[in-house]
Homo-oligomer: A and B are copies of this chain.
């Protein structure tokens, strides 16, 4: 097909978006060019700004354009309760439940020795230092209920066994084998409410 080369490039670029096949990419490109050129320019600018300025929060590793993200800087959030998640998309899912008022730590992955992802890659030293700081009273392990997510949660719980921090795991309610980001807000809120301690109690 003799398409305009620039149109072809735009279609390929749109296909790199998750969930966008050849047909949708085509429709998107034509929609932008035929009906929404201003929208196309706005999107281009938003992409450039986001890539250039969005880095990582120095406290929680969430996506942020400043040194500390909006959540870490928010004085109304309870810094004593830290929710540990695998990714920013999970963080957004939890935030959207509106039922959590603590802060976060984003691992950006899970332990996976076969892929060379160990404690260092997940920033665990930084998390443990934060716990040692004394401000944290509870660590909610909200990694995905997958084999790797569970292993990561248990590794963290094990490492902190000797501290005085309360360590909890979100309740089942999140479907086993599922991904947090696809869980509806109600289920997720329920899972948070039903979280249980992973730490051996003194009378065990």
Cβ contact within 8 Å between B9 and A50 = yes
A34 touches B88 (CB 8 A): yes
Contact A28 B33 (CB under 8 A): no
* Cβ distance A10 to chain B, nearest Cβ, rounded Å: 4
Contact A13 B43 (CB under 8 A): yes
A71 CB to nearest B CB, Å: 5
Number of copies of this kind of chain in the complex: 2
CB contacts (< 8 Å) of A50 on chain B: these are 6-7, 9-10, 29, 32-33, 40
Stretch at the interface among A61-69, A114-122, A141-149, A196-204: A61-69
Q: Does A163 belong to the interface (CB within 8 Å)?
A: no
Question: Interface residues of A, CB < 8 Å — how many?
Answer: 58
- Whether, in the assembled complex, A176 has its beta carbon less than 8 Å from a beta carbon of chain B, the answer is no
Does A69 lie within 8 Å of B4, measured CB to CB? yes
Given contacts A40-B47, A50-B33, contact A92 B13 (CB under 8 A): no
Assuming A13-B42, A51-B41, A89-B26, is B7 touching A63 (CB within 8 A)? yes
Binding site for B on A (CB under 8 A): 1-7, 9-10, 12-14, 16-19, 24, 26-34, 36-37, 39-51, 53-54, 63-65, 69-71, 74, 87-89, 92, 95-96, 108, 181
